[in-house]
Each structure stands twice: as structure tokens, then as C-alpha cells.
């Protein structure tokens, strides 16, 4: 059994988790942050970030996460690269089990984020951040006067295409079906825009060119005929949805219909003393700055909660 009970355990080491650690650290709550096997979350996989406040020349994603981590540590946050495997929110203190041990906490902040659904290609690992993106809002400005492809057929894909047309010379939506799944109003906007074109009944079989280390095109396969063809482009945006990282919390906490953690009164969950923030809650904005803001909110909420409990 754990000998120590922490005031706060934060699960997840992205912008939300590091910000929550910073604020709870400054509140003298001595938080423990378990940052998982991918410290920094999705930003650790990106290159230049130009839309995070305070960096007029931009900043590398991993560098930004490292700065956030060091700032939290400066104020006393204990940060461990450990992956949580199980939780028990039905007892108090709460129990958080990891790959290397077990921890107790009076309160918990969940900041495990969400993972973009990918195409499942080996070339994605090489080209992510090198012409391949999962965030049009984050990376669209890098593709001025370039040809881009958006993969998907739902509202997210159409929204991305409508956003990217501000920068790109051409935007092509590639969809595996012969019609979009997006809402009618979104479909109408895309269909009427001369800068957006469509390739129907097609999937991406491969991304070109891994050997060059940058996206130069795609290999498309017709799902009806099996015919393949190469299409030149400068960038590919995958917009087939996100998966919230909530599998370990099923049965322990309320989730919404999409699997995201349900919150009320800002960051409170249905379990008294358990709070959630960032992309594990937010399936609308999905930005580093909004995740960081929610991390601040959760930290302030948990500080007030512990104060009420006499901690």
C-alpha cells in the first residue's frame, strides 16, 4: 500500500496537465503529475507552433512542452514519466495505479487528452509534421499558395477545408463514400465554393514521399474498382475524428456519448473530488491554449475543493 497520500494527482502531461501542475504547485498543494509515455501530448509530435500566445516567432511543440514542464517543477510539482493503468474513484483517498506503482490522492485532475484518428499507414509516422497534419487551425497558415488534401467526410473535414481555402491554392476533399456525412449547411458551403473540389469513393493507400521526408503527394485507391493513382499535393490534413483517452476511466466516471469525460460546473465530474480538463473534455476547440486555460480552471476548482475539505 502507498505510504503517502498526495493532495492532488494529475493524470496526463500535455498543456492542460502541465498548467494544472503549475497552478496547484503555486498553491502549495505539492501535486504529483503522471505524464504518461508521451510527455507533452500531441504537441510533442508537432514542429513549429505559431498560435500559442507569447511566442511571436513561433516555438517548437516539444520545446513549448518542456518549458511548461520546467515551470511547473519550479513551483514544486513532482512529475513522473509513468503511465496510469487503472483508477479507483469509488474509495477515498482515490487510488491511481500505474505501470510502476500505486498512488493515493485526496483529489484528481484528469488531463489525458484525445488522440487524432489516423489512416494507419507506416508513412504517417515519418511525415507527421512534415506536410501531414491533424489540425487545420494549427497548421493551415504554413500552406499558403499550396495544394492540400483533406481526408474525411464529416463536419470536421468540411470545416477544415473551408478554413484551409483561406491559405491554400487548392483544397481537395477525399472521401471513401460518394457523398458527405457532414450537415447539410456545411455540405452546401463546400459544394458552392469553387476553391474546393472532391474525389469520391477513394482512400489514401500511401503518403508520398517518406524518403524525401516531406509530403509530395498521395496514392489514392478507388474503393469500387481498386484502381490506384498518384495525386500530387503539398499537404494532407487527416480529419476523421478524435478518440478521447478515457478507456481506463470507463465504469469509474460519467462519459458523454462520444466517450469524452462529462463535466458540470466548469471542470467538476460526477465524482466529488475528481476534475477533468483539456481535450479529454473538449471536442470542439482542441487547441493548446484552450487546454492550458482549462488546466488553470481545474487547478483553481480543485484548490477551492480542498480548502472546503480543510486541506
Catalytic residues: 135, 138-139
Cell of 253: 466516471
The count of residues in the chain is: 311
* Owner of C-alpha cell 500566445: 53
CA distance 223 to 253: 40
The helix or strand, by DSSP H or E, that contains position 294, with its residue range, turns out to be helix 288-308
Burial (0-12, 13-18, 19+ Cβ within 10 Å), 280: buried
CA distance 209 to 236: 12
CA distance 232 to 208: 9
Cell of 91: 474509495
CB 157 within 8 A of CB 196: no
Amino acid at each position: 500500500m502507498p505510504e503517502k497520500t498526495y493532495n492532488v494527482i494529475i493524470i496526463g502531461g500535455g498543456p492542460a496537465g502541465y498548467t494544472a501542475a503549475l497552478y496547484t504547485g503555486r498553491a502549495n498543494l505539492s501535486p504529483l503529475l503522471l505524464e504518461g509515455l508521451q510527455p507533452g501530448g500531441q504537441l510533442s509530435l508537432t514542429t513549429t507552433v505559431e498560435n500559442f500566445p507569447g511566442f511571436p516567432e513561433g516555438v517548437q511543440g516539444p520545446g513549448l512542452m518542456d518549458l511548461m514542464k520546467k515551470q511547473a517543477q519550479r513551483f514544486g510539482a513532482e512529475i513522473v514519466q509513468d503511465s496510469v493503468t487503472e483508477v479507483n474513484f469509488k474509495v477515498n483517498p482515490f487510488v491511481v495505479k500505474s505501470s510502476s506503482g500505486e498512488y493515493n490522492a485526496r483529489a484528481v485532475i484528469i488531463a489525458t487528452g484525445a488522440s487524432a484518428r489516423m489512416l494507419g499507414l507506416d508513412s504517417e509516422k515519418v511525415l507527421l509534421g512534415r506536410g501531414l497534419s491533424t489540425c487545420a487551425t494549427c497548421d493551415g497558415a504554413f500552406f499558403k499558395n499550396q495544394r492540400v488534401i483533406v481526408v474525411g467526410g464529416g463536419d470536421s473535414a468540411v470545416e477544415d477545408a473551408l478554413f484551409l481555402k483561406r491559405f491554400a491554392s487548392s483544397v481537395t476533399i477525399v472521401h471513401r463514400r460518394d457523398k458527405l456525412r457532414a450537415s447539410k449547411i456545411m455540405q452546401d458551403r463546400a459544394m458552392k465554393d469553387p476553391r474546393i473540389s472532391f474525389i469520391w469513393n477513394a482512400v489514401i493507400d500511401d503518403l508520398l514521399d517518406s524518403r524525401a521526408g516531406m509530403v509530395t503527394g498521395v496514392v489514392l485507391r478507388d474503393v469500387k474498382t481498386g484502381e490506384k493513382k498518384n495525386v500530387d499535393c503539398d499537404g494532407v490534413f487527416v480529419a476523421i475524428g478524435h478518440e478521447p483517452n478515457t478507456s481506463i476511466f470507463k465504469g469509474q466516471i460519467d462519459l458523454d456519448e462520444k466517450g469524452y469525460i462529462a463535466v458540470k460546473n466548469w471542470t467538476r465530474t460526477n465524482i466529488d473530488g475528481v476534475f477533468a480538463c483539456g481535450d479529454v473534455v473538449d471536442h470542439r476547440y482542441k487547441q493548446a491554449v484552450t487546454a492550458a486555460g482549462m488546466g488553470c480552471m481545474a487547478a483553481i476548482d480543485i484548490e477551492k475543493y480542498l480548502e472546503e475539505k480543510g486541506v
